[in-house]
Amino acid sequence: MTGGAGSAGFALGIVSIKEDPMSDLATQVRKIAQEARVASAELALKTADERNQALRAMAAALRRETPQIVAANQLDMEAARAKGTKESLLDRLMLDRGRIESMAAALEELCDLPDPLGQVQEERTMYNGMELRRISVPLGVVAVVYEARPNVTADAAGICLKSGNAAVLRGGSMAARSNEAVARVLAAAAQEAGMPQGWLGAITSTDRAATDELMQLHGVVDVLIPRGGAGLIRHCVEHSKVPVIETGTGNCHVYVHASADLAMARAIILNAKCRRYGVCNAAETLLADGCVAEDFLPKVFADMTERGVLLHLDQAAAEIARREGLEEDQDFVIATEEDWATEYLGPELAVRTVGGVLEAIDHVNAYGTMHSEAIVAEDEQAATTFLNRVDAAAVYWNASTAFTDGGQFGLGAEIGISTQKLHARGPFALQGLTSYKYVLRGTGQVRS
Amino acid sequence: MTGGAGSAGFALGIVSIKEDPMSDLATQVRKIAQEARVASAELALKTADERNQALRAMAAALRRETPQIVAANQLDMEAARAKGTKESLLDRLMLDRGRIESMAAALEELCDLPDPLGQVQEERTMYNGMELRRISVPLGVVAVVYEARPNVTADAAGICLKSGNAAVLRGGSMAARSNEAVARVLAAAAQEAGMPQGWLGAITSTDRAATDELMQLHGVVDVLIPRGGAGLIRHCVEHSKVPVIETGTGNCHVYVHASADLAMARAIILNAKCRRYGVCNAAETLLADGCVAEDFLPKVFADMTERGVLLHLDQAAAEIARREGLEEDQDFVIATEEDWATEYLGPELAVRTVGGVLEAIDHVNAYGTMHSEAIVAEDEQAATTFLNRVDAAAVYWNASTAFTDGGQFGLGAEIGISTQKLHARGPFALQGLTSYKYVLRGTGQVRS
């Protein structure tokens, strides 16, 4: 149902989780987005202080309404368990007092970041005396489509509000009740603190057609940010009329050059692969120069098998593995063409031997997703060639790909990691949710 | 045919004007784009000096090959005349020595602009000693789809090359022979000056399916820039899988506030409407506060009827027009809802009376295309409200909308005027054709 009353008695744009006939759903999604559009005009005029106060009110409301949010989350958890959802996904879905406190704290941290709006990016007096200024403004209406984790609801709402944007959030169906509870609490708290009604819309219908409808709303929604698997992102890129910022698909490589400090290389691939398996900045393929493979790969194989990481090896690497006594089909398999293009997001690693930096670059540019790419080398010329020629958001020399992250890059809370080149690339945050406007002041000038 | 030999014996990616069966055409378009993608990697590594030398060589070649280009253009002109094309369009199509000299001079002017590549936009030492730099890089492959004027072929190729991008150009069918001749000359000259083969592709097939194929090439083409009518732009937005920068649709307004200096307002609307009718920064609707309509509109009506501009008037304005002796259906007609949303691009002007700045803002935000919007007012508060609340690329106080132009804004040659908020807004040029890359240098850092 649209516009139901929130817990504190505030109208909130929600397309609820009950199943609706398709035509009705489309109308409701459009209404939510239209209300967000109207709200965005008012929101853009709020001062930084006003927006920060609303963020603090949202944090306080999350803490106050924790029992209600946990209760909604438990319904999602029960439904997910009944469907036989695996533990790792259940863990991502779960909200408890500690996690809700983290969501609240993240909202408060946003208050300390500089205001991305109203920045004068350029200021000039034109030849005819007109004053030209280029000033940062919000994008308007930001739609975020995301999957399991319900904390994204609070994170995305907060980042949008801090940057003066209205938000339309479309979370995963598994977390629908949790997302709806969080969104109701946030929307009501921000409205009570003076933000315009409709600034936050939540689409928690489990019907996938809701996302498709959102993608039609060119002119109403200014940008669509899909956060999730490669399938979701491809679907959005192929069907959206609203401009999309692609995020998060990371088929990342670590390349070990002949000149590498092999102890350093070992630590870097271990960190890049095993720090966390499910993140987009994790390495999925190790490339190693053939001339160091004999020395280097046995150590990597030991690290990986010890952690239960399945190796996908090219023939040369497989030969070394066999010699080291690794078991085929258990510790390793022979890599196929498909492996080079696969983002495992799990305890698997592809390994390929190459004949130098140019072959490594060709592999990375052919199979990578322009996310994060690393070279380990002592040879500066090889490193420079790699850094210059690899086409990716973040390129590393002698460091782990795991650093590609808004917090690590000093951007504060990120809304995503862009793997496209338009508008924002790599981790993007508040500044990535702004546009600009030329403001020109004259005294009657006309153009000859 | 693909890859035919250019006039100087260089291979050039051209899908030629002869009609091909659809499947073949798709293959050819893809091949051109793939060749541009390969070339883009090399092009990105060329120094500013090397790119500038190529631009100078392109300018020299245009001058040298003027007879050949004019001959090709005459074939286009004859074909267009035979089809009964109107004079204004024929004039846009025509190339002569003077116009080709202008194209050459524009290429040379690009050499004097600062290099948009390799700029360090950010530079920091991270908490762990890693060096982070954000550096500007080319987008990669830029596709431009445009209509009548063949000079765009040289302008777009030059701007793309200056910014290190490979270009795939798809001009209008009416100018196919001219575009092909210009592209062959430019591609050969730049290759001779050291640019990689395939950096410039021209699709001059008259089959519209070529544009549709280009729009499918996500991952090969980095951005698609349509330059042309609203129909072309809508088609691209709705069907392209490649990110689009919308350009050029300008339903611009001049709003005359109660406090306006009416002589200034008269000069501004005259300039904004009549300086040139066919440009996107021309005003299409005049909004005037009701309380100044009696004094102000008669003067505007006189200016417009004198120039043969047809007026589309709301009831209040029509009453004044009748009183002034203007003839209905000849000097003016009654405006319909559709008029408010129409970009006439010709000698027509819609006029509406409004009840103050807020009503004017609502009208502009409802019907405008976020291009250029002006208020004429002495009252600073009204002006500030308008500048803040109108959602457009360029907002003007007491000046004509005609200034929205890359040259006027000090950006140099523009590739288009963006009416979207993502990536680039308003006139955009070299900087708008760049992205950035994070380059991180470590000494073995891993993330905890």
Using DSSP, state whether B319 is helix, strand or coil: helix
Considering only CB atoms, B41 lies closest to which of A261, A389, A421, namely A389
Q: What is the pLDDT of residue B18?
A: 43
B276/A contact by beta carbon, under 8 A: no
Any residues with CB less than 8 A from the CB of B243 and at least 6 apart, and which?
Answer: A243, A244, A420, A422, B222, B223, B224, B423
Inspect the interface and report whether the beta carbons of A447 and B410 lie closer than 8 Å: no
- E strand or H helix that includes residue B287: strand B283-289
Chain B partners within 8 Å of A391 (Cβ):
41, 140
Considering only CB atoms, B435 lies closest to which of A44, A126, A425, namely A425
Cβ(B58)–Cβ(B157) below 8 Å: yes
Inspect the interface and report whether the beta carbons of B444 and A264 lie closer than 8 Å: yes
Inspect the interface and report whether the beta carbons of A395 and B441 lie closer than 8 Å: no
Cβ(A32)–Cβ(A168) below 8 Å: yes
Considering only CB atoms, A223 lies closest to which of B396, B422, B437, namely B422
Chain A partners within 8 Å of B446 (Cβ):
267-268, 270-272, 275, 399-400, 402
Any residues with CB less than 8 A from the CB of A85 and at least 6 apart, and which?
Answer: A93, A174
Q: What is the pLDDT of residue B2?
A: 36
Using DSSP, state whether B394 is helix, strand or coil: strand
Q: What is the pLDDT of residue A147?
A: 83
Residues 80-139 of B with CB under 8 A from A: 124, 126, 130, 132, 137, 139
| Stated pTM of the model | 0.92
Considering only CB atoms, B45 lies closest to which of A388, A402, A447, namely A388
Cβ(B245)–Cβ(B418) below 8 Å: yes
- In 3D space, the residue among A423, A367, A103 whose CA is nearest the CA of residue B245 turns out to be A423
- Tell me the residue type at B341: A
| Residue B241 CA neighbour count, 13 Å, CB half | 16
- Average pLDDT for B3-20: 42
Asked if residue B444 has pLDDT above 90, the reply is yes
Considering only CB atoms, B447 lies closest to which of A243, A275, A439, namely A275
Give the relative orientation of helices A176-192 and A66-82 as an angle to the nearest 10 degrees: 160
B404/A contact by beta carbon, under 8 A: yes
Give the other-Cβ count within 10 Å of A61's Cβ: 25
Inspect the interface and report whether the beta carbons of A440 and B237 lie closer than 8 Å: no
Q: pLDDT confidence of B88, banded at 50, 70, 90?
A: confident
Inspect the interface and report whether the beta carbons of A446 and B275 lie closer than 8 Å: yes
Taking the CA of residue A441 and the nearest CA in chain B, the distance in Å comes to 5
* Complete edge-to-edge strand list for the sheet that includes strand B348-354: A120-125, A131-138, A434-445, B394-399, B372-376, B252-256, B283-289, B348-354, B310-313, B332-334
- Tell me the residue type at A60: A
Q: What is the pLDDT of residue B15?
A: 54
- The CA-atom distances, in angstroms, between B246 and each of B14, B234, B238, B419 are 25, 9, 11, 6
- Average pLDDT for B345-364: 97
Chain A partners within 8 Å of B437 (Cβ):
392-395, 425-426
Using DSSP, state whether B371 is helix, strand or coil: coil
pLDDT in tens, A293-333: 999 999 999 999 999 999 999 999 999 999 999 999 999 99
Mutate which: A384, A411, A447, vs B, most B CBs within 10 A: A447
Beta strand pairing call for B416-418 and B426-428: antiparallel
Residue matched to tokens 């795991």: A402
Residue numbers in chain A where pLDDT is lower than 50: 1-11, 16-20
Inspect the interface and report whether the beta carbons of B399 and A130 lie closer than 8 Å: yes
Residues 215-274 of B with CB under 8 A from A: 218, 222-223, 237-238, 241, 243-245, 261, 264, 267-268, 270-272
Cβ(A187)–Cβ(A154) below 8 Å: no
What mean pLDDT value characterizes chain B?
Answer: 93
- CA B295 – CA B437 distance, rounded (Å): 57
Q: Can you tell me the ipTM of this complex?
A: 0.92
> Residues B189, B191, B192, CA angle at the centre, nearest 5°?
65
Inspect the interface and report whether the beta carbons of A446 and B271 lie closer than 8 Å: yes
- CA A220 – CA A201 distance, rounded (Å): 13
Considering only CB atoms, B435 lies closest to which of A244, A397, A421, namely A421
Any residues with CB less than 8 A from the CB of B96 and at least 6 apart, and which?
Answer: B70
Residue matched to tokens 């190339």: B95
Chain B partners within 8 Å of A370 (Cβ):
none
- Return the HEC string of B108-176: HHHHHCCCCCCCEEEEEECCCCCEEEEEEEECCEEEEEECCCCHHHHHHHHHHHHCCCEEEEECCHHHH
Using DSSP, state whether B101 is helix, strand or coil: helix
- CA B375 – CA A373 distance, rounded (Å): 50
DSSP state of B255: E
For B209-246, the DSSP string reads HHHHHHTT-BTTBSEEEEES-HHHHHHHHHH-SS-B--
- Average pLDDT for B132-147: 96
Mutate which: A438, A441, A443, vs B, most B CBs within 10 A: A438
- Return the HEC string of chain A: CCCCECCCCCECEEECCCCCCHHHHHHHHHHHHHHHHHHHHHHCCCCHHHHHHHHHHHHHHHHHCHHHHHHHHHHHHHHHHHCCCCHHHHHHHCCCHHHHHHHHHHHHHHHHCCCCCCCEEEEEECCCCCEEEEEEEECCEEEEEECCCCHHHHHHHHHHHHCCCEEEEECCHHHHHHHHHHHHHHHHHHHHCCCCCCCEEEECCCCCHHHHHHCCCECCECEEEEECCHHHHHHHHHHCCCCECCECCCCEEEEECCCCCHHHHHHHHHHHHHCCCCCCCCEEEEEEEHHHHHHHHHHHHHHHHHCCCEEEECHHHHHHHHHCCCCECCCEEECCHHHHCCCCCCCEEEEEEECCHHHHHHHHHHHCCCCEEEEECCCHHHHHHHHHHCCCCEEEEEECHHHCCCCCCCCCCCCEEECCCCCCCEEECCHHHEEEEEEEEEEEECCC
Asked if residue B372 has pLDDT above 60, the reply is yes
| Residue A184 CA neighbour count, 13 Å, CB half | 26
Residues 161-220 of A with CB under 8 A from B: 218
Asked if residue B11 has pLDDT above 60, the reply is no
Any residues with CB less than 8 A from the CB of A221 and at least 6 apart, and which?
Answer: A33, A36, A37, A141, A142, A143, A168, A214, A242
Residue A320's Cβ-count burial label (10 Å; 0-12, 13-18, 19+) is: buried
- CA B41 – CA B8 distance, rounded (Å): 24
Considering only CB atoms, A421 lies closest to which of B132, B139, B420, namely B139
Q: What is the pLDDT of residue B90?
A: 92
* Complete edge-to-edge strand list for the sheet that includes strand A166-170: A13-15, A200-203, A166-170, A141-146, A223-227
Taking the CA of residue A372 and the nearest CA in chain B, the distance in Å comes to 9
- CA A26 – CA A212 distance, rounded (Å): 9
A146-155, A268-277, B10-19, B314-323, range with the lowest pLDDT: B10-19
Inspect the interface and report whether the beta carbons of A241 and B244 lie closer than 8 Å: no
Inspect the interface and report whether the beta carbons of B132 and A275 lie closer than 8 Å: no
Cβ(A73)–Cβ(A99) below 8 Å: no
Inspect the interface and report whether the beta carbons of B402 and A447 lie closer than 8 Å: yes
- Return the HEC string of B396-443: EEEECHHHCCCCCCCCCCCCEEECCCCCCCEEECCHHHEEEEEEEEEE
Residues 19-48 of A with CB under 8 A from B: 41, 44-45
Tokens encoding A77? 């958890």
CA A15 to the chain's CA centroid = 23
Q: What is the pLDDT of residue B5?
A: 34
Chain A partners within 8 Å of B382 (Cβ):
none
Mutate which: B123, B212, B440, vs A, most A CBs within 10 A: B440
Asked if residue B417 has pLDDT above 70, the reply is yes
Inspect the interface and report whether the beta carbons of A399 and B130 lie closer than 8 Å: yes
Q: What is the pLDDT of residue B1?
A: 34
> Residues A172, A167, B385, CA angle at the centre, nearest 5°?
175
Cβ(B398)–Cβ(B376) below 8 Å: yes
Tokens encoding B295? 């004094």
Q: What is the pLDDT of residue A4?
A: 37
User: Which residues are registered as beta bridge partners of B123?
Assistant: B133
Using DSSP, state whether B302 is helix, strand or coil: helix
Inspect the interface and report whether the beta carbons of A270 and B388 lie closer than 8 Å: no
Q: What is the pLDDT of residue A209?
A: 86
Considering only CB atoms, B388 lies closest to which of A45, A124, A222, namely A45
Inspect the interface and report whether the beta carbons of A440 and B396 lie closer than 8 Å: yes
> Residues A26, A168, B247, CA angle at the centre, nearest 5°?
85
Inspect the interface and report whether the beta carbons of B130 and A264 lie closer than 8 Å: no
Give the relative orientation of helices A48-64 and A97-112 as an angle to the nearest 10 degrees: 170
Among chain A residues, the shortest Cα distance to B265 is held by A444
Taking the CA of residue B326 and the nearest CA in chain A, the distance in Å comes to 27
Q: Please state, for a pLDDT cut of 90, what percent of chain B lies above it.
A: 85
In angstroms and rounded to an integer, the radius of gyration of the C-alpha atoms of chain A is: 24
- Average pLDDT for B30-48: 95
- Average pLDDT for B412-437: 94
Give the other-Cβ count within 10 Å of A380's Cβ: 10
Q: What is the pLDDT of residue A1?
A: 34
Considering only CB atoms, A438 lies closest to which of B272, B393, B423, namely B393
Beta strand pairing call for B166-170 and B141-146: parallel
Cβ(A410)–Cβ(B366) below 8 Å: no
Taking the CA of residue B170 and the nearest CA in chain A, the distance in Å comes to 21
pLDDT in tens, B241-267: 999 999 978 999 999 999 999 999 999
Q: pLDDT confidence of B14, banded at 50, 70, 90?
A: low
A277-281, A372-376, B114-118, B433-437, range with the lowest pLDDT: A277-281
Give the other-Cβ count within 10 Å of A124's Cβ: 12
pLDDT in tens, B265-311: 999 999 999 999 989 999 999 999 999 999 999 999 999 999 999 99
A446/B contact by beta carbon, under 8 A: yes
Considering only CB atoms, A445 lies closest to which of B218, B399, B420, namely B399
Q: What is the pLDDT of residue A5?
A: 34
